[in-house]
Amino acid sequence: MDEIVINYDESKVPHYELPDPLIFEDGRPVTDANAWPARRAEILSLFEQHVYGRAPTSGAAMTSEVTSVAEGVLGGLATRKEATLRLTGNSSHLDMHVLIYLPQVRNGAVPLFLGLNFAGNHTVHTDPGITVPTSWVPNYTHLGIEDHRARVESRGAASSRWAVETILQRGYGLATIYCGDIDPDFDDGFKNGVHGLFPRDDRAGADWGTIAGWAWGLSRALDYLETEDAVDASHVAVMGHSRLGKTALWAGAADPRFALVISNDSGCGGAALSRREYGETVKRINTAFPHWFCTNFKTYNDCVSALPVDQHELIALIVPRPVYIASAAEDLWADPRGEFLSAVAASPVYRLYGFDGLIDDVVPEVDVAIHTRVGYHVRTGGHDVTSYDWAQYLDFADKWL
């Protein structure tokens, strides 16, 4: 295998030209907001064909069961609810376990943040009432999860990334699902998880990968939230970090029911421009994680400039809904500048609808947030979700959600 060279030198970023989201494939310009839905459909299809793959539109049935409800938890701050969503198809099934926190005191249905977690619902808080998963869990040594026996001890291990009490105090709910419930994060030839619910073919070029599977699962969770009287399902923000930030962007692009979309350090295949080839590249991500994207994406490993889309168009698919892109100054792997420039290049589509986007290509100072319809910040520190990030997301949601 050829050595994959990782570039962290801006002077070595290749010259590139981005595809224009406001030019139809036949060369016609998009002149106003009325023409955008047709162009949006073209771009969405290109991402399905060349990057994430096409998710099935039918073939799996879903039932739901509330498995626990507890009032006055977290010192009286919250109602905690757990529900199991059973998805059935192709003579098999899988169970998605949803953890929901709602403000204990609320006037009517509440807006809500929805996001996947990496290692089990019990890792997002020390709350002893959260059910510990029995399914496959990866070895996340940094979270104290090195084998199945470490699960109980890892309760609350990722709590610094979730700001549960702050979210509730601001009047929002929070729902989360362990991503491995939807599709385990390893390459097994697409036999497990959601892929097993549908007839399997030979993984032809545009068949969906794991990120599309996770995004599909988020839409099924939204289906369920639409049945919850205490949740305002028309005001659900989808949020994700790292690979789950890529997922949140694709979920928000593919499913316009998500009212706000948040990408935290999503990098290559997420918010960062692929053509910059800075930090993690298309070739590197497809080599390390061959199951994340569709097979067609691999054909661009050595010719990224030939991709018919780039990630600014992924952000543009969210228009006119608000989107927030967050970077971290020390997270060069995720290419903070590439994430910012992607948001800048998507902004002309927002301006079609009369919204301010990002005005120029000068990256803002560290820890200075921009809250136009396209939100952005680059904060101090590395690859993580911090209280600063959540403070911006909540302020942004107050403004737009």
Q: Output the DSSP codes for 190-247.
A: S-SGGGGGS------TTB--HHHHHHHHHHHHHHHHTT-TTEEEEEEEEEEETHHHHH
Taking the C-alpha atoms of residue 134 and residue 338, their distance in angstroms, rounded to an integer, is 39
Per DSSP, what are the bridge partners of residue 68? 82
Q: What is the pLDDT of residues 86-104, one digit of tens each?
A: 999 988 999 999 999 999 9
Across residues 1-11, what is the average pLDDT? Answer: 86
Helices (H), 229-352: 243-254, 282-288, 311-316, 336-352
pLDDT the model gives residue 147? 53
Q: Is the dihedral of CA 157, 163, 165, 168 positive or negative?
A: negative
Give 149-195 pLDDT, tens digit per residue. Answer: 456 678 999 999 999 999 999 999 999 999 999 999 988 888 889 99
Torsion sign (Cα): 277, 47, 18, 239: negative
Q: From 3.40.50.980, 3.20.20.70, 3.50.50.60, 3.40.50.1820, which CATH number describes the 21-400 domain? A: 3.40.50.1820
Distance CA 118, CA 140 (A): 9
Catalytic residues: 242, 383
CA distance 324 to 373: 8
Which pLDDT does position 1 carry in this prediction?
47
Locate tokens 């949020």: which residue? 239
Amino acid at 259: A
Instruction: Answer yes or no: pTM beyond 0.85.
Output: yes
Domain extents for the chain? 21-400
pLDDT above 70 as % of the chain: 95
